[in-house]
Amino acid sequence: MVHLPTQISNGDSSFLFMEQHCLSLLNRCSSLKQLSQIQARLHFFGLHRDSYILSELVRFCAISSSKYFAYARTLLFRTQISRPSSWNFLIRAYASSHSPREAIWVFREMRVRGITPNNHTFPFIFKACTSITALKEGKQAHVDTFKFGLDGDVYVNNTLIHFYGSCRKIEDARYVFDEMLERSVVSWNSVITACVENSWFSNGIEYFVQMRGDGFEPDETTMVVLLSACAEIGNLSLGKCVHSHVIGRGLVVNCKLGTSLVDMYAKSGALDYAKLLFDRLKERNVWTWSAMILGLAQHGFAEEALALFAKMMNSSISPNYVTFLGVLCACSHTGLVQDGYRYFREMEHTHGIKPLLIHYGAMVDVLGRAGRLSEAYAFVKNMPIEPDPIVWRTLLSSCTARGVNDEEGVGDKVRKRLLELEPRRCGNLVMVANMYAEVGMWNEAADVRRVMRVGRMKKAAGESCIELGGSIRRFISGYDLEADYVNVYQLLDVLNLHMKMINL
């Protein structure tokens, strides 16, 4: 129970005393019942119309750890609070909660009442729209920034870039950035992140170069995003360049930055560098361990990956879904079917991690690589979630592998199901044609190829890459007459002839 004086005398000093007393009680309030008692007293003493008191009530409800959002909303909607800051408190609270759409509804009511939003309103509106991928509502808010003269505000534009990037509208994100007259490091980080997260890696790297050219010093966030880009495209030279820049700038290699470095080196195949960094990190989290385990597993060091996982389990770090992906990948490469089953079960029943489609696909790969096709097919059929084409394609790849005995016709069943799901995907048809060719069914293989020709379906040309002098060189199957490649192909012809001569 909270206690207020039973009466208030006239005069400014008494009014100020009551105001300060109410604010003090608010700071000590710990329940909705006490909050209701405070508001009842405010009504009794005629303070319920005081805009400052009401704003503080809304602020308290919005930022309270008890999350009295509904109470704050009632206060706003049933009173005449016209301070934008009060509405911003509630919009911010909803945007950061599990009900971000409510922030959009509060914003709409704010607009209906003619209350002018400011540069603290829109960032949280864009944050709410980002959380639920509300592209339409976000674009409407973008238009409102022009109406209220906030289209040039750095803080607003930074969150707008992030919003468009999260909604995969990368062109819109770049347009907002390119039109900014004033930028900050956060602005550059936002557009680089938008590019990298949407696989526009070269554009992200170009923005980084431009950022340095414009005199902006990259920070930890910049480096983390760039390392992610390097990892995805396998550009080890650029990754090393970023690492050297981290050292040159004297940035602290904390857990987040260290994990990004380990992930980049591991995905680029430089496992010695990855292990060296991993061992030297003073602080590691589950993502650090997972990056190292997955990197080892994907590059054929399955036993080391499983040993590292065992070491992780003896630490205070609990595994996550990426950790188990690496573990299952390791089991696949070493033929440890029973261990694969055990880890798959422990994932959910011991660690409470519900398997995703990618984990089911990994388990199918474990069984398929071991030649246990019927078992793999039964596993897919008994999945509690609908298997996607990737799962079926993984199993079909196992069926078409050399030396695999498919007496029960699993390949035919998988082929039919995959073509039902993706009848016009060229890669599927090529796999089916190759499957027929492997067993000498030339007429059937020709029929599949004919279907592709009639349907004008053409498989994307095979492609491989090599890093040379810091640049990624792409090689596409089929002869390329570009002058830059002529000498390369001539050298390949010489090497091919040389290998034949020494019978390699």
The answer to whether the Cα torsion of 247, 252, 255, 257 is positive or negative is negative
The residues facing 475 across adjacent strands are: 464
Pick from 291, 198, 201: which is nearest to 472 by CA? Answer: 201
Coil vs helix vs strand at 473: strand
Integer angstrom CA distances of residue 191 from 184, 186, 194, 284, 347: 11, 9, 5, 28, 37
Residue predicted with more confidence, 28 or 364: 364
Residue whose pair of structure tokens reads 């207020």 in the numeric block: 4
Domain boundary assignment for the chain: 18-151, 297-347, 356-460
Distance CA 19, CA 21 (A): 5
Our measurement of the distance from residue 189's CA atom to the centroid of its chain's CA atoms, rounded to an integer in Å, reads 15
Quick check: 73 pLDDT over 60? Answer: yes
Segment among 14-23, 281-290, 310-319 with least mean pLDDT: 14-23
Q: Which of 2-11, 38-47, 76-85, 402-411 has the highest mean pLDDT?
A: 76-85
pLDDT in tens, 104-113: 999 999 999 9
The DSSP annotation for 284-350 comes to --HHHHHHHHHHHHHTT-HHHHHHHHHHHHTSSPPP-HHHHHHHHHHHHHHT-HHHHHHHHHHHHHT
Average pLDDT over residues 398-412: 72
What integer pLDDT is reported at residue 131 of this predicted model? 95
- Give the mean pLDDT of 4-30: 55
More confident residue, 41 or 201: 201
* 141: Cα separation from own chain's centroid: 24
Q: What's the CA gap between 310 and 461, in Å, rounded? A: 41
Q: How far apart are CA 301 and CA 298, in angstroms?
A: 7
Other C-beta atoms within 10 Å of 154: how many?
14
pLDDT at residue 480 tops 80: no
Mean pLDDT of 357-377: 93
pLDDT at 264: 96
Half-sphere exposure of 70 (CA within 13 A, CB side): 2
> Residue 291 corresponds to which amino acid?
A
pLDDT higher at 487 or 405: 487
pLDDT at 479: 56
Using alpha carbons, list the distances in angstroms from residue 358 to 24, 48, 329.
Answer: 53, 56, 11
Instruction: Give the Cα separation of 68 and 61 in Å (integer).
Output: 5
Q: Is the pLDDT of residue 47 over 70?
A: no
pLDDT value, residue 78? 78
pLDDT of residue 357: 95
CATH 1.10.630.10 holds for 356-460: no
Whether the model pTM is above 0.85 = no
CATH homologous superfamily for the domain 18-151: Tetratricopeptide repeat domain (1.25.40.10)
| pLDDT number for residue 10 | 45
> Which neighbouring-strand residues pair with 464?
475
Distance CA 285, CA 327 (A): 17
Burial of 474 (0-12, 13-18, 19+ CB in 10 A): exposed
pLDDT of the residue at 69? 85
Select the more confidently predicted residue: 397 or 161: 161
| Helix (H) or strand (E) run with residue 465 in it | strand 463-468
| Biggest CA pair distance of the chain | 109
pLDDT at 338 over 50: yes
CA dist., res. 388 & res. 373, Å (int): 18
